[in-house]
Chain A
Amino acid sequence: MSTSTTPLLQINEVTKAFGGIHALNEVSFDLHENEILGIIGPNGSGKTTLVNCITGFVELTGGEVLYRGKKISGKPPHKIADMGITRTFQIMRPYYSLPAYKNLVIPLFSPRAKRTGGWRGGGKLGDRNTVSIDILEELGFERESFVPYKKASNLPTGYLKRLELARCLALNPKVIICDEIFSGLSMSEIASMVPLVERLQMEGITLIMIEHRLRELFQVATRIMVLNFGEKLIEGTAEEVMADEKVKEAYFGSEEVEEVMAHA
């Protein structure tokens, strides 16, 4: 891990309340350049709310989010995405009426892609349609098949998840926050996604991964953070986290955790 002076992303005591319910309560953590931070927690522990807070989709009740030392909380979501902090949606949100490759023309048309050249120079260089098919090919949409030309409404879940990731990549991002990109996929589909995530890290992209698939997450993540009832329980390596009593309690009865622990 790099020992740079300021972390890439600092989350300081972020609080979000819906009515009287605290979805997030003073959660703080740092994200360092080029690491993969895994965030786990039982259902309803505030993981997706955390993503929404960082990317500006909901307003914070308290606390702040800093990007390279500058405050970004309070900015509209498109401004935050414009800085290179992108996200996927847990419930996929493709443009259903457009073909898969046209889905990518939209992020390639964005100011950030025009300015920075998109992922590997796309958007600035060459036709957006060509670039988008290039990106899709990198993510496993076979170029010679019909898949990239199919309407998004006809694509299966696995491809839609990849499309979500592709939308982030088209923006030439610094940070990608993946909200459960493994969930709903078959074992083989997950197995093919894992190297992809590792490759993104090698290319210098920092990732936050919110996951329920603990085994695959522990393979790739550099650090793990556990959320429960909107509060941060613990942060550390996979072994440290799994050994923690509080985590065991939060996940009590979950078969998968027991299985993973047995492996550890």
Chain B
Amino acid sequence: MTASNEQRRKERLDRGIKVRSEGIYALMSWRELAYLFLPRVALIGGLLILPLVMPSMYWQRVISIVCIYALLALSFDFLAHFVGLVSLGGAFFIGTGSYIAAILNTTFGLSPIFTIPIATLLGAGICTVLLLPCLPLRGVYFAIVTLMYPLLLARVIEALDILGGTDGILGIESFTNRWMEQYFIIVMVLVLLFGTRRLVNQDIGLVFRAVKDNDQSVRASGMSVTYYKSIAVFIASGIGCLAGAYLVHLYMWAGLSTLALDFSILPIAATVIGGSGTLVGPVLGAFILVPISELLRAFGTLRIVFYALILLAFIIFRSEGIMVYGQRKYHQFEKWIKV
């Protein structure tokens, strides 16, 4: 801000090219086409090239973990901002997916090609059925109950000493090919990202958003709110379980740590930082937050302090997130005008 006494305010205007490239007219020139497609191409291309430019195996592994968190963040953002269910139970989805994949692999000897899809669908089904009684809850209540699910599952596994107890399930097959391991998850992130983006603009996606806006009106329109919420939970928990199943084959181990709060909190931080309600934002947020957290690994639990503080700062000062800010800068320009 300036120190002068003159009253000024910032005015935001759409860039001409944004207006020109809306609708079919975008096909008029290469410039407008580029304006529309460059951000998307940059994202897709960037993600696909990323593993090739990584200096070491270690950092390639980090990218896989980033992708896991990105999927969770995507699932959180979809559920929270398009259906209105704020689920703090990312760890529950991860845990369910990973234990199912682990059992399928160790007990039935299925290879990752089969365990991951089965764990995704079966896990999504289990999560949906278990969350079904909680679906009428709103706001804080749903958040608290979902936060408690993974903790309960962990304590039950511990107390009953089932599913490997505190030791976890060991000896799980890894992927046969390192590049397949890497690109599988990257492609999944891209497919699911663009898939959910498309979904929320379909008619059924509109119903999800309507449920968030005003569930009474949806009821008055002759539609079961619980039914649509459960479809949404199925989709979101499917994304989470996919990440969990992949995680198990990456670490070759499934244990109580897959139910740890990390999986519930870090994706939320990524969503807040990246920009909630944009779907792309959470993915970008994960790509910013997780590598930073890896760099700080040497400092032990200080990294948790660090990301908690980043999360706090973003909630307070920039709750729109990086992506919304970036979109605004891309589409609009600002100028000072006298009042």
Contact = CB atoms under 8 A, between A and B. Distances in A.
Direct contact of A and B (CB under 8 A): yes
Contacts of B207: 106, 109
Given A93-B214, A96-B213, A98-B213, A86 B220 contact: yes
Interface stretch (B62-70, B104-112, B221-229): B221-229
A76 B224 contact: yes
Interface stretch (A4-12, A60-68, A77-85, A233-241): A77-85
Given A98-B209, A109-B206, A167 B221 contact: yes
Q: Which of B213, B222, B224 has the most CB of A within 10 A?
A: B222
Contact of B217 (A94, A105, A128): A94
B9 interface: no
Interface in B67-96: none
B182 to A, nearest CB: 38
B220 A81 contact: yes
B contacts with A: majority SS: helix
Contact of A78 (B206, B214, B219): B219
A89 B214 CA distance: 12
Interface string B203-238: 110110110111011111111110000000000000
A25 to B, nearest CB: 25
Given A105-B203, A106-B206, A109-B204, A171 B213 contact: no
A95 B222 CA distance: 15
A213 B216 CA distance: 26
B210 to A, nearest CB: 5
A93 B224 contact: no
Interface residues of B, number: 19
Q: Which of A94, A106, A110 has the most CB of B within 10 A?
A: A106
Contacts of B222: 78, 81-82, 86, 107, 110-113, 171
A102 interface: yes
A97 interface: yes
B220 A106 contact: no
A55 interface: yes
A223 interface: no
A97 B203 contact: no
A112 B213 CA distance: 21
A106 B210 contact: yes
Which 6 A-B pairs give the minimum distances between C-beta atoms?
A: A81-B222, A107-B221, A95-B213, A82-B222, A110-B222, A77-B219
13 contacts: A55-B220, A57-B216, A78-B221, A78-B222, A81-B219, A95-B214, A103-B210, A106-B210, A106-B217, A107-B222, A109-B203, A111-B222, A128-B203
Interface of A: 55, 57, 76-78, 81-82, 86-87, 89, 93-98, 102-103, 105-107, 109-113, 128, 167-168, 170-171
Interface of B: 203-204, 206-207, 209-210, 212-214, 216-225
Given A57-B216, A110-B223, 12 more contacts: A77-B220, A78-B219, A78-B223, A82-B222, A86-B220, A89-B217, A94-B217, A97-B213, A167-B217, A167-B220, A170-B221, A171-B221
